Amino acid sequence: MYRSAELRFVLAAAAAAIALLLALLAVAAERTDLLMLDFREWRPVTSGLVEPSRSHVEAYFRNLQSDPPDRRLFRLTLQLESAAGGPGFLAAERELPAVDGARYCFRVLASPAAPGAASGLGIAVHVNGALAWSRPLTPPVRGFAISVPGIRPRRGKVKIRLELRSSGPQRSPASPASPASPAPAVHFEYATLRRCAPGAR
């Protein structure tokens, strides 16, 4: 009833097409800026009203990113310490390679780590040292998309800095945060930096 040689060709061609498609996707992903940014390479930055030691901030930052470990690649958590002595703001930054002359768009999703945890906070995005985007978080806050178009690289680099800061009074040892209130924190997820589509600024 069936011609096995031709059926073999059809089925083998289908399997080869799928394999080729996956291989092309993998190669294209490597050669383009389609990939999401790997937050493991980002470095913590802190300054402001309370200045802990560099090692303290490093350890604190790394501890934040460790849960859940599998998602560390794509999710960056910035959390102000609820205990006294923590940083007044916490930021993470990274210099990313880019092509001079091209224009880039940076996108990232941001969401409070827990309901109510964003009260009195503000988020800012700095590009190449200049403030490019900022927004105070007023409850009720849900997740939102941040988009910064028209980025021009400097000397083959784009420096992105994500910042979470407290817009309210600074906590001090005399007025520690209530243990019952959640530590203010924001997740940044699924960031991309890619050449802007035609028509974008």
Partner 1 sequence: MRAGSPVTPGLRRLSAGRRRVWAPAAVLGVLAVALVAAAPSSAVRVAAFLVAAGYAARVLRRQGPLAADRTARAVLFLVTGVGVFLPALIGFFNLMGHTLARLTDPAAPASRGDLLATTLVAAGLVLAARHWPARLGEPAFVALALVSATALKLAYVLLVRVEPVSDFADMWALTSSLAERGLDATRGSLVFLFHRWSYFERVLPYLLPLRLAFGPRPESYSVANVVVGSLASLLVYRMTRSWFGAGAARVALVVSLAAVETVLAAGIPTHDVPGAFYTLIALVLFLAAWRLHSRGRERAALLAGAGFGLAVAVLDLQRTTGSVMLLTVTLLGLAMAAVERGAAGPPAGERHRRLLAALALVFIPWMVFGTADRVLRAAELRVPPALRERAGWRGLAAATDSWGDGSYAYCYENYTAPYGVSKADWRSLALAKLATDLHHHPGARVTSYLRKSEALFDLGSQTYFYLHGAELRGFGPVYREREERILAVSRWFSALFLGALVVAFCRLWTLPEVPLPGLLPLLYLAVFTAILLFLAEVQPRYLYPIWYLGAIYIGALFGPGCPGSSRSS
- Whose Cβ is closer to partner 1: residue 144's or residue 175's? 144
| Residue 84 Cβ vs partner 1, minimum distance, rounded to whole Å | 29
Which residues here bind partner 1, judged by CB under 8 A?
Answer: 1-12, 14-15, 22, 25-26, 28-30, 34-36, 38, 68, 70-71, 73-74, 107, 109, 111-112, 142-145, 147, 187, 190, 192
Pairing relationship of beta strands 75-79 and 121-127 according to DSSP bridges: unpaired
Pairing relationship of beta strands 89-97 and 157-166 according to DSSP bridges: antiparallel
- Whose Cβ is closer to partner 1: residue 130's or residue 197's? 197
Task: List all residues 6 or more positions away from 40 whose beta carbon is below 8 Å from its beta carbon.
Answer: 65, 72, 73
- Whose Cβ is closer to partner 1: residue 142's or residue 201's? 142
Nearest to 119, CA basis, from 138, 134, 91, 136:
138
Rounded alpha-carbon distances, angstroms, from residue 111 to 69, 141, 145, 158 = 19, 8, 9, 24
| Residue 172 Cβ vs partner 1, minimum distance, rounded to whole Å | 31
Angle at alpha carbon of residue 191, lines to 188 and 192, rounded to 5°: 165
| Residue 5 Cβ vs partner 1, minimum distance, rounded to whole Å | 7
| Residue 70 Cβ vs partner 1, minimum distance, rounded to whole Å | 4
| Residue 182 Cβ vs partner 1, minimum distance, rounded to whole Å | 14
> 20: part of which helix (H) or strand (E)?
helix 4-31
- Whose Cβ is closer to partner 1: residue 29's or residue 49's? 29
CA separation for the pair 57, 97 (Å, rounded): 26
Task: List all residues 6 or more positions away from 107 whose beta carbon is below 8 Å from its beta carbon.
Answer: 145, 146, 147, 148, 191, 192, 193
- Whose Cβ is closer to partner 1: residue 124's or residue 193's? 193
| Residue 33 Cβ vs partner 1, minimum distance, rounded to whole Å | 10
